[in-house]
Amino acid sequence: MSALPFSPAAERNRQPILETLRLVLPNQGVALEIAAGTGQHAVHFAAGLPNWTWQPTDQDPAMLPVISARAAEAGLDNMRAPLRLDVMAATWPSAGPEFNTPFDAIFCANMLHISPWATCSALMQGAARHLCPGGVLITYGPYLEDGIPTSEGNLRFDESLRATHPEWGIRRLAAVAEEAALVGLGLKARHAMPANNLLLVWERAG
């Protein structure tokens, strides 16, 4: 077994997410992953979507060699070298030349609730800049939905997040949709996932 940093949650949810990605994505394209963390998602998705090229990124420079090592272990040839990317930065990525070719998809899991609310607007603005017309931003994680009861587990999780950091917390889907609409991204699909999570597909207008 690999000695690399490991996320049990990423291991649990990677296959359900992959199965949903296969439903919502075309047969081929180039994807940018935001907040790739340990790289478990990136490696699993690149392996499971062989006609896609996967570009992992993370804000923490310490995670980049972890992602590289995990990709090397998997022997993937459709996964690019990881880059440092802070969604709050004016240009993406945070070092080196700005991305000059649009992406067909951008994937971001479990970031919005463990970062300040300002990252939501930054994520939407960056996606609008770097998605091709008709491209999609895919977000995964827990959300609060108006008119839909929140699970006890998510309520406790939200309380623990806010106790950890006052600017963290599970986001209202309606508020996220408002930020997306400001930059021309509309909610195309909502997929219920295990453990009271949602996979949301936001499409850039063509």
Domain harbouring 38, CATH code? 3.40.50.150
The whole-chain average pLDDT of the chain stands at 96
Q: Which two tokens stand for residue 173?
A: 């889907």
d(Cα 94, Cα 89) in Å, to the nearest integer?
6
DSSP-based three-state secondary structure for 199: strand
Model confidence pLDDT, tens digit, residues 7-37:
999 999 999 999 999 999 999 999 999 999 9
Would you say residue 131 lies in a domain? yes
**Which residues share a beta bridge with 198?**
141, 192
Type of residue at 138: I
pLDDT score for 96: 85
Amino acid at 183: V
3-state secondary structure of 38: coil
What is the pLDDT, as a whole number, of residue 129?
97
Average pLDDT over residues 156-170: 97
Confidence check: pLDDT of 1 > 70: no
Residues 126, 52 contacting (CB under 8 angstroms): no
Q: In this structure, are strands 197-204 and 185-193 parallel, antiparallel, or unpaired?
A: antiparallel
User: Rounded to whole angstroms, how far apart are CA atoms 115 and 132?
Assistant: 26
In a domain, 117, yes or no: yes
DSSP codes, 53-122: EEEEEES-GGGHHHHHHHHHHHT-SSBPPPEE--TTSSSSSSSSSPP-S-EEEEEEES-GGGS-THHHHH
Q: Are 141 and 198 in contact (CB under 8 A)?
A: yes
Q: What is the pLDDT of residues 80-123, one digit of tens each?
A: 999 999 999 999 999 889 999 999 999 999 999 999 999 999 99
Q: Which domain holds residue 44?
A: 8-204
Q: How far is CA 39 from the centre of its chain?
A: 12
pLDDT above 90: residue 3: no
pTM: 0.97
| pLDDT class of 206 with cuts at 50, 70, 90 | confident
The arithmetic mean of pLDDT across residues 152-162, rounded, is 97
- 1 within some domain: no
Q: Is residue 3 part of a domain?
A: no
Number of domains in the chain: 1
Q: Model confidence over 45-86: pLDDT tens digits?
A: 999 999 999 999 999 999 999 999 999 999 999 999 999 999
